Amino acid sequence: MNFIGKRFLVYILLIVSVFGGLAGCTQEVNNINTSTELSMEEKLEDFEYLYTIISDNYPFLKVNERVNGINWLEQKTKYIELIKASNSDMDFMYNISAIVKDLNNGHTHVIDKENFTRYYTVYTNPKQGKSLKPWAKVFKNKTVLEWYGFKENESADTKKQGFFNLNTPAFISDIITPNQVAYLQINQMNGEKIEEDGKEIRNFYEKIKDYNKLIIDIRGNSGGDDLYWIENVIEPLAKERTSVDNYIFTRGKYGKSFYKARRIKQSPVTSIAKSILEDFPEEVNTDFDYYYISSRVVVPKDPVNFNGKIYLLVDKAVYSSSESFASFCKDSGFATLVGSTTGGDGIGIDPLFFSLPNSGIVVRFSSLLALNGDGTINEEVQTTPDIEIDPTIGTSYKTDEAIQYILNN
């Protein structure tokens, strides 16, 4: 993810392996406050609010139609009938979740009770100042707090809860071929262990700096904090200043306060030269209002002077922050990507949140349409590897086809 106020992304940039179930319906109805049932009129009003926000602001409506065959906006009548079939507040939340799920985006889902406290803790953290103010406003809404049965004075108990599996090491380093091929597996971009892991990873680099090849394996890594890969991979290994620019587009007015909080300055899409627009997807010109160019620049920091070849192993599970790493490596040429196409949606800032006015249900959604360096939509095309090969993780190096390819070529 992004560039401006990067430290503010902290831990929340979705780890899909942890939150994959959030896009489903069954986990999003647990333990909500049902002391006062919503009327059908209130439920329908909430749906209309949801529909309007998505219709005006969501960036991937046409991507969803092309990739998944779902024209979400044309499903309105069907969705209204689904809402009318909600016989209880729990049914209603279940059905709202199902409707949002039809958008088919890993960052877009209803927030459930179990994880509400974690999101609340991260996005209302006073240390982040104004950069998270619009996000915090959603979570501090009185109706929201009542719906989730959450008491703000109890939030301190959640601070020990993170979005990372602390029982799983964030990285594993190894030697595949002595004096020739080194291996670094990054399981999660753990924002809680950037500095701690960075020391150990740098020590590993010092030991293998004269090797011919370094394999960095992020297969199965579905996100975390960009600072993990910036500080622990790019900065110590880069030989020179490395930069990548991405066009990022937005729709509607809802996100303006969020972008302002991150000091993002946007310009009208109409200000882009026609010769450039012609190379972009058609919907950029027809459906989007504003854009900015995200420039990510990474400067070497105490480089270890590794002169070998760097390979990055990727697969479909690479998403969010890990996707931003893969995209950066591909567009900058920092590493050769080996494996299969990634999962996408990794360029930009945190997803946005909004709450439904009557119930207080909180919905998270991606708001940015980011283009890869070649002008394709990252969410749609993701990041394609330089070398396509079966990315299945082997039981050993010898049974891992991707690793064997690197060793033998």
Pick the range with the lowest mean pLDDT from 55-59, 140-144, 278-282, 346-350. Answer: 346-350
Residue 13 has a pLDDT of 36
Same domain flag for 222 and 284 = yes
Mean pLDDT value of segment 95-124? 95
For residues 258 and 389, give the distance between their C-alpha atoms in angstroms, rounded to a whole number: 40
Residue type at 289 in one-letter notation: D
- The pLDDT score that the predictor gives to residue 155 is 52
pLDDT given for residue 14 in this prediction? 35
So what's the pLDDT on residue 164? 56
Question: What is the rounded average pLDDT of the residues 199-217?
Answer: 97
* pLDDT reading at 20 higher than 90: no
Give the CATH number of the domain where residue 35 resides: 1.20.920
β-sheet bridge partners, residue 249? 291, 369
Angstrom distance (rounded) from CA 179 to CA 77: 64
Q: Pick the more confident residue, 153 or 40.
A: 40
**pLDDT of the residue at 22:** 32
> Which CATH number goes with the domain that contains 267?
3.90.226.10
- 225 within 8 A of 191, measured Cβ to Cβ: yes
pLDDT value of position 127? 82
Judge if 190 and 226 occupy the same domain: yes
Residue 192's pLDDT is what?
A: 85
Query: Which domain-ending residue is among 122, 153, 184?
Result: 153
DSSP three-state, residue 228: helix
Across the beta sheet with 181-186, what order do the strands follow?
A: 171-177, 181-186, 213-217, 309-314, 336-339, 387-388
Last residue of a domain, one of 127, 153, 179: 153
- Last residue in a domain, options 125, 153, 181: 153
Are 201 and 328 members of one domain?
yes
Tell me, yes or no, whether 236 and 342 share the same domain.
Answer: yes
Check if the beta carbon of residue 338 is closer than 8 Å to that of residue 311: yes
pTM metric for this prediction: 0.86
In a domain, 160, yes or no: no
110, 244: one domain: no
Domain that holds residue 21: 6-153
What gap in Å lies between CA 45 and CA 47, rounded to an integer? 5
Contacts 24+ apart (CB under 8 A), 111-115: 111/22, 111/28, 111/353, 111/361, 111/362, 111/363, 111/364, 112/22, 112/27, 112/28, 112/29, 112/30, 113/30, 113/31, 113/32, 113/148, 113/149, 114/27, 114/30, 114/31, 115/19, 115/22
**Torsion over CA: 89, 103, 3, 230 (sign):** positive
109 with 10, same domain: the answer is: yes
Higher-pLDDT residue of 21 and 148 is 148
- Cα gap 40→23, rounded to integer Å: 24
Q: What is the mean pLDDT of the chain?
A: 89
**Which one has a higher pLDDT value, 156 or 303?**
303
Encoded tokens for 86: 């909600």
pLDDT exceeds 80 at position 202: yes
Confidence of residue 323 (pLDDT cuts 50, 70, 90): very high
* Rg of the chain on CA atoms, in Å: 22
As a whole number of angstroms, the distance between CA 231 and CA 237 comes to 10
Task: Work out the percent of the chain whose per-residue pLDDT is above 70.
Answer: 88
Residue 243 and residue 320 in one domain: yes
